């Protein structure tokens, strides 16, 4: 099913509401990583050039109380955006009301306005996050067309995506959302094969369910990182003090039984007695971890085995670092995966926040076909779930 994309919409002279993902990391009011602003530019520039009156909005962090609002204003983001656009961005420090409505009415073609953090509405009964029907309807009343370009919240039904979409005449996806659908949706629905998934990281409980869907879609699933130990433990191996979610041991066992040879586990691990970069470490076979040791990385035999499998892959989705890459002594596995993927003649996709940060900090970002802007959303996509923020976009 093809979705309507912003390019398919005649926006000239119309008030276009664009839900972007400006949930950028900030420290003391300063943006520490503006990647999400940069990623939103193609859609914004396009509607500006085509003479829309542009109204932007986003959430920023979590806001539950009045106190939470401190440091969560989008004003600094509007200033950064103005620099990137080379034009003024009118900032309205409210999420509703007369001043906002008047400012929107005063917009000329090609002008840009941004209003305050949508989650400020959460202070009063979670109106944004619980998709309060009044709020979605109100925001929808402010414009003619809705463009959803926020992939990071596409797995949630909020007033600022689904709420608006169900109350406005025309709904399109922005270019960032289009890209995410193309790469992540494409990998899951019609991958060029062999399709190999690499799963690791620390959020084992959140991720282990993804394997159920990937067992149907992928040709191989390579387990790395903290994900490894649930599978080793459920087979009766000692995992010492390694990360493990004990309530997911039965699920791990079931998955191994269903796996039909598709699930690959590490052969060796880098183990240590303390969670520290500088503690003594050794490589241990998967069946030789001592009770007082924890595995913090995969070992060279594992990398060799995984490289051999990845060599022929045509589509690779990677979610979750292979080890505690923040410690240089336990980053070898993650570096090894980056290097292997960098050299492949394949579509390579990263779908996790920390995995993306790892690839960027290790200098491999440009080697990947696509780095997703939504960790949780990409995970739910890989699980085979329908994303409300995608489903609410008009079909072509
Ligand atoms: P992503 O954000 O890419 O989805 P996660 O949030 O699930 O990944 O996990 C990232 C974290 O996992 C990293 O901070 C990394 O240090 C940690 N990690 C990886 N391997 C291990 C391990 N063996 N033991 C403990 N933590 C690990
Ligand atoms: Mg993470």
The C-alpha atoms of residue 345 and residue 116 are separated, in whole angstroms, by 44
pLDDT higher than threshold 80 for residue 167 = yes
List residues, by chain if needed, whose CB lies under 5 Å from ion ligand 2.
353-354
Q: Which of 210, 321, 374 to mutate to test the pocket of ligand 1 (most atoms within 8 A of CB)?
A: 321
Does the annotation mark 376 as catalytic?
Answer: yes
* Smallest CA separation from ligand 1 atom 15, residue: 324
Could you say which of 119, 179, 203, 207 is catalytic? Answer: 203
The alpha carbon dihedral of 352, 387, 3, 137 has a sign of: negative
Q: Which ligand is nearest to the CA of 354?
A: 1
**Number of neighbouring beta carbons within 10 Å of residue 354:** 20
| Token digits of residue 15 | 């008030």
Mean pLDDT confidence for 216-231: 96
Count of alpha carbons within 13 angstroms of residue 341, beta-carbon side: 30
Burial group, residue 58, by CB count within 10 angstroms (0-12, 13-18, 19+)? buried
Q: What is the pLDDT of residue 57?
A: 98
As for ligand 1, residues whose beta carbon falls within 6 Å of it are 200-203, 225-226, 243, 295-296, 319-321, 323-324, 326, 352-355, 375
Nearest Cα residue to atom 22 of ligand 1 = 226
Neighbours of 378 (CB within 10 A): 32
Q: Which of 3-12, 109-118, 275-284, 350-359 has the lowest mean pLDDT?
A: 350-359
The mean pLDDT value for 117-138 works out to 97
36 pLDDT more than 70: yes
Q: What is the pLDDT of residue 29?
A: 84
Nearest to 252 by CA among 228, 220, 217: 228
Q: Is the pLDDT of residue 137 over 80?
A: yes
Ligand 1, atom nearest to 358 Cα: 3
> Residue 1: its pLDDT value, please?
63
Stretch 355-381: mean pLDDT, rounded?
A: 91
Residue 37: its pLDDT value, please? 95
Model pTM score: 0.89
Mark whether 203 is an active-site residue.
yes
Give CA–CA dist 35/21, Å, rounded: 10
Look up 200 and say whether it is catalytic: no
Mutate which of 197, 198, 202 for ligand 1 pocket (most atoms within 8 A of beta carbon): 202
Q: Is 91 helix (H, G, I), strand (E, B) or coil?
A: strand
Mean pLDDT of the chain: 96
DSSP code at position 364: -
Please tell me the predicted confidence (pLDDT) of residue 122. Answer: 98
CA distance 177 to 77: 20
Ligand nearest to the CA of 375: 1
- 299 part of the active site: no
**Model confidence pLDDT, tens digit, residues 64-94:** 999 999 999 999 999 999 999 999 999 999 9
Closest residue by Cα to atom 25, ligand 1, is 226
Both tokens of 62, joined, read 């979590």
Q: How far apart are CA 44 and CA 52, in angstroms?
A: 10
The per-residue pLDDT for range 299-352, each reduced to its tens digit, is 999 999 999 999 999 999 999 999 999 999 999 999 999 999 999 999 999 998
How does residue 205 score in pLDDT terms, banded at 50, 70 and 90?
Answer: confident
From the CA of 127, how far away is ligand 2's center (Å)?
27
Question: What pLDDT was estimated at residue 206?
Answer: 85
């Amino acid at each position: 099913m093809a979705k309507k994309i912003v390019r398919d919409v005649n926006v000239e002279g119309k008030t276009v509401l664009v839900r972007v993902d400006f949930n950028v990391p900030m420290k003391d009011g300063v943006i520490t990583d503006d990647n999400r602003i940069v990623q939103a530019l193609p859609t914004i520039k396009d509607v500006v050039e085509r003479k829309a009156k542009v109204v932007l909005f986003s959430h920023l962090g979590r806001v539950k109380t009045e106190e939470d609002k401190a440091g969560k204003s989008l004003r600094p983001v509007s200033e950064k955006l103005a620099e990137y656009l080379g034009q003024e961005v009118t900032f309205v420090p409210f999420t509703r009301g007369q001043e906002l409505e008047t400012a929107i009415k005063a917009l000329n073609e090609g002008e840009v306005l941004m209003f305050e953090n949508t989650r400020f509405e959460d202070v009063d009964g979670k109106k944004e996050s619980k998709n309060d029907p009044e709020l979605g309807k109100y925001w929808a009343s402010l414009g003619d067309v809705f463009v959803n370009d926020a992939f990071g919240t596409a797995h949630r039904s909020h007033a600022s995506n689904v709420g608006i979409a169900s109350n406005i005449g025309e709904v399109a996806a922005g270019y960032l959302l289009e890209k995410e659908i193309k790469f992540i949706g494409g990998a899951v629905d019609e991958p060029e094969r062999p399709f190999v998934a690499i799963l690791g990281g620390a959020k084992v409980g959140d991720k282990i369910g993804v394997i159920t869907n990937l067992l149907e879609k992928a040709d191989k699933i390579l387990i790395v990182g903290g994900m490894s130990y649930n599978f080793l433990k459920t087979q009766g191996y000692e995992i010492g003090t390694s990360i493990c979610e004990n309530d997911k041991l039965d699920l791990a066992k079931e998955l191994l039984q269903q796996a039909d040879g598709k699930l690959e586990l590490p052969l060796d691990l880098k183990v240590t007695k303390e969670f520290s970069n500088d503690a003594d470490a050794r490589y241990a076979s998967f069946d030789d971890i001592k009770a007082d040791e924890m595995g913090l990385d995969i070992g060279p035999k594992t990398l060799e085995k995984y490289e051999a499998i990845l060599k022929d892959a045509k589509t690779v989705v990677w979610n979750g670092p292979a080890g505690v890459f923040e410690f240089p002594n336990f980053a070898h596995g993650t570096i090894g995966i980056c290097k292997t993927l960098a050299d492949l003649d394949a579509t390579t996709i990263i779908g996790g926040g920390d995995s993306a940060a790892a690839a960027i900090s290790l200098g491999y970002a440009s080697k990947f076909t696509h780095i997703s802007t939504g960790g949780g959303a990409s995970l739910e996509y890989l699980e085979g779930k329908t994303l409300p923020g995608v489903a609410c976009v008009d079909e072509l």
